[in-house]
Amino acid sequence: MKQPVARRDGTVDEYHGRQIADPYRWLEDDTAVETQEWSQAQHQCTRAYLDAIPMREHIKARYTELIDYPKWSTPYQVGDSYHFFYNTGLQNQSLLYIEPKQVQRSREHPLASARLVLDPNTLSADGTVALTNIAFSKDGSLLTYGTSQSGSDWQELHIRRVVEGTDYPEVLKWCKFSGIAWRHDNSGFYYNRFPEPGSVPAEDQSNFSTVYWHRLGTPQSEDVLAFERPDAKELGFSPFITDDGKYLILNVWHGTDAQNRLYYRPVLSAHEDEATNTQSFVRLLDEADASYQFVGNDGATFYFQTDLQAPHGRLIAIDTEQPECEHWRELIAEQEDVLAFAFVAHQHFVLAYMHDAHHKMQVHRKDGSFLRQIELPMLGSIIDASGRPDGDEFFFNFTSYLYPPTIFRYTFADEKVELWHQTESKFDPSNYETTQVFYPSKDGTRVPMFLTYKKGLTLNGNNPVLIYGYGGFDISMTPGFSITPLLWAEQGGIYAVANLRGGNEYGEEWHEAGMLEHKQNVFDDFIAAAEWLIEQGYTHASRVAIMGGSNGGLLVAACLVQRPDLYGAVVCRVPVIDMLRYHKFTVGRYWTGEYGNAEQSAEQFAFMYAYSPLHNVREGVAYPPTLIMTADTDDRVVPGHARKFAATLQQANGGEKPIFLRVEFKAGHGMGKPTTKVIDEESDILAFLCQTFDLS
């Protein structure tokens, strides 16, 4: 089936005195018939190719078999019960349960004493309505939950009576990235939302974040405005209430910037009305000079994890009655390892540190003094943890590349870790291993990389390698269990994860070394990973595949156009591609602190244009086989990026290898994606790679 050729037009923009052509601008318009017809034709061509791959059905069957195991989330205590998510294996969406804390849990029948609170699979026939946000009241009797359709970031909030299993009639709209803060008297909650459509210009629909008070049992039209800052329309405000119920706190954020602010005020008493409230918020931290993550409080003393004057993170105490910097107390100083997260359990600080991109765990007393190290099963990641300041325990969920998520419970009374739930995967890891290596980047920077493969690997220079990376937004790539790498390893492949600059593996300095004018460092790190694997005899260029999504899609696209000779296949998922216009779509403006703004700054235009994948595709170059993936309702990274990139690559490609565009329908950026779609998508990727590398 022949791929459709995209029409080129004469669209040209001027950036700081330079004329920049944008011949596929029309592909940005999702609603245009021409765009829809071209996208559908592209997808049909891609489907014809993928469906004809002989191994695809075998891969899909094996993927389905491996993902079909019970999945549990970390339990969180609410009132006298735990709440957690559970999936039998192939359910499109996981179910929400609660279980009495006092009941002796049965290892053989772990759901015996649990009660179903919400089954998202009943919200749509195809699983494309997902549960994307939950917040229980303090006593656990009420639940606010958010639902999202087709992977959208937009959600609607509903309120459920937990025991009765019935919902209140009101539905709260215009919510995105919403925090939910229940008052402890169960009278209602605070939440943040955006303006009603039509009340602001379309380009401001994701600006003017406001905090509202919702009284239980009343329509949204009666919600009371609790906080706004019309003078700073790009700031976002996420409310939460301290564990003691005394303070309403606003986490104040600007896009995806790591630096944030924090405001607070006392919570109103039961007889006070938000509509007549005269208490104003105290702007405790308002400089946006560092990251401040609220850890807990003892009355007026607030505890924060911060990277202020400590790129690797430290723990401080601020007395809100003496909030000046000179009165701040350092409880736990900056360490050589990076402080990943901290919380309070049993009036102790529980901290996770990151050492060379894998986790360690410690317990400290409230004065900051070290108490003990928590032994972890192996080199891996703590993907979630929970505990209460007044509790007697905490839980953590541990995983690694060959170790499925497993839940452990630490009890303070006997000071020991016990297995809470062991995941029983159908994959036998005994014949595989994960190693960590370090390689030099272009400028000599030492970069870690994890390799997973079959034991007994021969360095014959011919092994197929799939390299994954992200490199941005302060996000660390720590070890995690996933089916795609396991299937790739079963086929004899090496799965590599490079811990690139731009993440937080080595603190804020590592992040800053991969953002704005330093973004090329991220691409250099990724290119160097492939070069090192080739030099060390693991593989050669025609057997190297690269994959990344979102900011990682930008990564692999940039590396593709900079070094097309270095790769045998490219999988580019929901990518950011047009660096000159990305900020114009949906929440793209949230990322200007990370990438820059080519319109506003000539200096930023220069370095962004230099690596923008869309603007660096070269005519006549033989590009490797490439699978570009997007979703029709992605409202985070709009599909126009992927469409324009596919059209540009297909037109310029001087070789015979295919450039495909795969479109997922009724799906978004990835959040809440049903299991059936996950299986189909990952099977397509693996089939594409196996076909390209002639694996069977």
Residue numbers annotated as active site? 550, 634, 669
510 contacts 518 by C-beta, under 8 angstroms: no
Report the distance separating Cα 216 and Cα 238, nearest Å: 19
Report the distance separating Cα 480 and Cα 624, nearest Å: 28
75 contacts 81 by C-beta, under 8 angstroms: no
Report the distance separating Cα 403 and Cα 610, nearest Å: 41
Report the distance separating Cα 523 and Cα 509, nearest Å: 17
Quick one: DSSP state of residue 28?
Answer: G
Residue 598: C-alpha distances to residues 15, 256, 343, 582 (Å): 8, 18, 39, 10
Q: Which two tokens stand for residue 336?
A: 């050589």
What contacts 61, CB < 8 A, 6 or more positions away? none
Residue 451: C-alpha distances to residues 404, 432, 495, 576, 590 (Å): 17, 11, 6, 27, 33
Report the distance separating Cα 664 and Cα 672, nearest Å: 14
The string of DSSP codes covering 340-357 is EEEEEETTEEEEEEEETT
Residue 372 corresponds to which amino acid?
R
Torsion sign, CA atoms 470, 475, 476, 481: negative
Q: Which two tokens stand for residue 375?
A: 């032994």
301 contacts 328 by C-beta, under 8 angstroms: no
Altogether, the residues listed in the chain come to a count of 696
Q: Which two tokens stand for residue 294?
A: 């609220």
φ, ψ of residue 50 to 5 degrees: the values are -65, -40
Residue 644: C-alpha distances to residues 252, 581, 607, 630 (Å): 35, 12, 21, 11
Report the distance separating Cα 138 and Cα 78, nearest Å: 6
* E-state strands within 320-445: 329-332, 338-345, 348-355, 358-364, 370-374, 381-387, 393-400, 403-411, 416-421, 432-440
Q: Which two tokens stand for residue 209?
A: 């974040």
Cα-trace Rg, the chain: 25
Q: Which two tokens stand for residue 673?
A: 């994606």
